[in-house]
């Protein structure tokens, strides 16, 4: 038996409304043979399950795994390359790292993740590769083959990431800055900031990441254009079972907004398929599972017994605003507040075992203040310049199963109060920002 080898293929079809007809064919390593170059013929296109990337002109981009490479010598074998193909699948441009031969021989793929376009630019991002590098490329000039590190032709080559197989990168356009997210295997979730004014990740080598969530995760972003973005990630859990997590897409180093294990009896994800990605549509998050089904997550429908408590933030005055009134939440967003999370579900007003949360506002500092104490309410309104705005929402007065404590914290340095139902967030703001715990105002039903 002769040597066994394979190639990477892309097939192009036309559709006449009834039938598909094959019209174009591209092979990544048409002349390569097993053993004639490090890595053999090979050159698979697998990209951890990601599809091909395309631009507005119909050009197609892909990454190629380890395999035969001779494009630098005028050949047409493209192992370990990022490729730009025309709509008819001819090679328009390519890039291969200067160390492709050594990495290919060690089965350290360039092509273990696909490429993502950075919105509104001609930049492409690929990585992290099996050899721990990530690449920022110019789609109008990918760069071909740099002679060595000193003559790098990629816009940026970022090194030092985990080389374990992870998941594909995604991007979000936040307006003045654009973010790229990826989650390499055995690593934390990583967020890079792209600066359109200079055309690079800036500052180079500096990035944000989660803490203590090593593994890998499939990602998606939901947003209202350039605001209120949530990064969704299907990643590892404490017990090894996958967990759907929600992060603030502007800063993934913050405590997560929600995860499917917070109320595991209701929301636990269970197993998932290999290289499966969350999809966001119609206000819901859809996650393929390992049991031939799709888990669907969305906001709980408010009932007569519970109302969602929204948390919003206004950066101009550093004010966190909390309300269980949907119309008030929408009006606050129109006024410039950004939605952050639903922190819990409030009980109905006037039910036994509940108490009102009084809401006050200081027009001089722009801060809202919340208390369950009538005496405190009267004191801050008469002595500290606050205006009483009424009852914000009720809370349950005693702890119980399925209930979350509503913590109140205060920072003398910031002169601001903060309220949260997350123990992790509570601990984080104390450790990172010097807040003091002022106690529990009451309890909300878990989201």
Is residue 182 assigned to a domain? no
pLDDT in tens, 56-94: 999 999 999 999 999 999 999 999 999 999 999 999 999
Separation of CA 47 from chain center: 18
Q: Which residue among 158, 184, 210 closes a domain?
A: 158
Residue 210: both structure tokens together: 């989660």
**Residue 53 or 349, more confident:** 53
Closest CA to 227 of 255, 250, 205: 250
Band (2; pLDDT cuts 50, 70, 90): very low
Is residue 226 assigned to a domain? no
Mean pLDDT of 36-57: 81
Is residue 360 assigned to a domain? yes
Band (304; pLDDT cuts 50, 70, 90): low
Band (202; pLDDT cuts 50, 70, 90): confident
Is residue 363 assigned to a domain? yes
**Residue 238 or 121, more confident:** 121
Provide the pLDDT for residue 239. Answer: 57
Is residue 126 assigned to a domain? yes
Domain residues for the domain of 82 are 9-158
pLDDT in tens, 204-248: 767 888 877 777 788 999 988 888 899 999 887 665 678 999 999
Provide the pLDDT for residue 37. Answer: 46
Domain count, the chain: 2
Q: State the residue for tokens 């550093």.
A: 318
pTM: 0.70
Provide the pLDDT for residue 186. Answer: 81
Q: Which residue among 158, 175, 194 closes a domain?
A: 158
Query: Residue 133 class from Cβ within 10 Å (0-12 exposed, 13-18 middle, 19+ buried)?
Result: buried
Mean pLDDT of 414-433: 94
Q: SS3 for 347?
A: coil
Is residue 210 assigned to a domain? no
Q: Is the confidence at residue 38, as pLDDT, over 50?
A: no
Q: Is the confidence at residue 310, as pLDDT, over 60?
A: yes
Q: How far apart (Å, rounded) are the C-alpha atoms in residues 153 and 124?
A: 14
Q: Which residue among 158, 186, 220 closes a domain?
A: 158
């Amino acid at each position: 038996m002769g040597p066994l080898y394979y190639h990477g293929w892309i097939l192009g079809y036309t559709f006449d409304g009834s039938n598909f007809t094959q019209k174009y064919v591209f092979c990544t390593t048409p002349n390569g043979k097993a053993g004639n170059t490090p890595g053999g013929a090979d050159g698979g296109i697998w990209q951890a399950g990601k599809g091909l990337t395309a631009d507005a002109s119909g050009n197609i981009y892909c990454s190629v795994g380890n395999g035969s490479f001779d494009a630098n010598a005028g050949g047409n074998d493209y192992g370990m390359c990022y490729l730009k193909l025309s709509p008819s699948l001819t090679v328009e441009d390519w890039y291969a790292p200067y160390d492709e031969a050594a990495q290919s021989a060690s089965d350290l793929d360039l092509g273990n993740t696909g490429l993502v376009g950075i919105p509104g630019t001609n930049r492409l991002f690929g990585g992290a590769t099996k050899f721990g590098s990530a690449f920022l490329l110019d789609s109008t000039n990918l760069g071909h083959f740099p002679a060595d590190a000193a003559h790098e032709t990629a816009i940026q080559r970022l090194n030092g990431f985990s080389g374990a197989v992870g998941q594909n990168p995604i991007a979000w356009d936040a307006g003045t800055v654009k973010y790229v997210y990826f989650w390499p295997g055995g690593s934390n979730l990583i967020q890079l900031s792209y600066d359109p004014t200079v055309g690079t990740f800036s500052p180079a080598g500096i990035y944000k990441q989660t803490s203590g969530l090593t593994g890998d995760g499939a990602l998606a972003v939901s947003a209202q254009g350039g605001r209120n973005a949530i990064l969704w990630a299907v990643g590892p859990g404490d017990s090894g079972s996958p967990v759907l997590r929600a992060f603030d897409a502007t800063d993934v180093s913050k405590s997560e907004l929600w995860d499917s294990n917070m109320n595991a009896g209701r929301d636990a994800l269970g197993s998932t398929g290999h290289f499966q990605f969350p999809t966001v549509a119609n206000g819901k998050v859809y996650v393929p599972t390992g049991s031939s089904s799709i888990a669907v997550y969305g906001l709980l429908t408010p009932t007569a017994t519970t109302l969602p408590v929204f948390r919003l933030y206004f950066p101009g005055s550093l004010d966190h605003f909390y309300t269980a009134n949907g119309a008030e939440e929408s009006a606050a967003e129109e006024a410039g507040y950004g939605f952050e999370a639903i922190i819990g579900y409030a009980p109905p007003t006037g039910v036994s075992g509940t108490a009102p949360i009084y809401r006050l506002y200081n027009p001089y500092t722009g801060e809202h203040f919340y208390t369950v104490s009538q005496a405190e309410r009267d004191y801050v309104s008469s002595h500290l310049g606050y205006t009483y705005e009424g009852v914000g929402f009720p809370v349950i007065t005693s702890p119980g199963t399925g209930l979350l404590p509503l913590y109140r914290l205060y920072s003398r340095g910031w002169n601001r109060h903060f309220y949260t139902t997350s123990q992790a967030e509570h601990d984080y703001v104390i450790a990172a920002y010097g807040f003091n715990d002022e106690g529990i105002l009451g309890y909300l039903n878990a989201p």
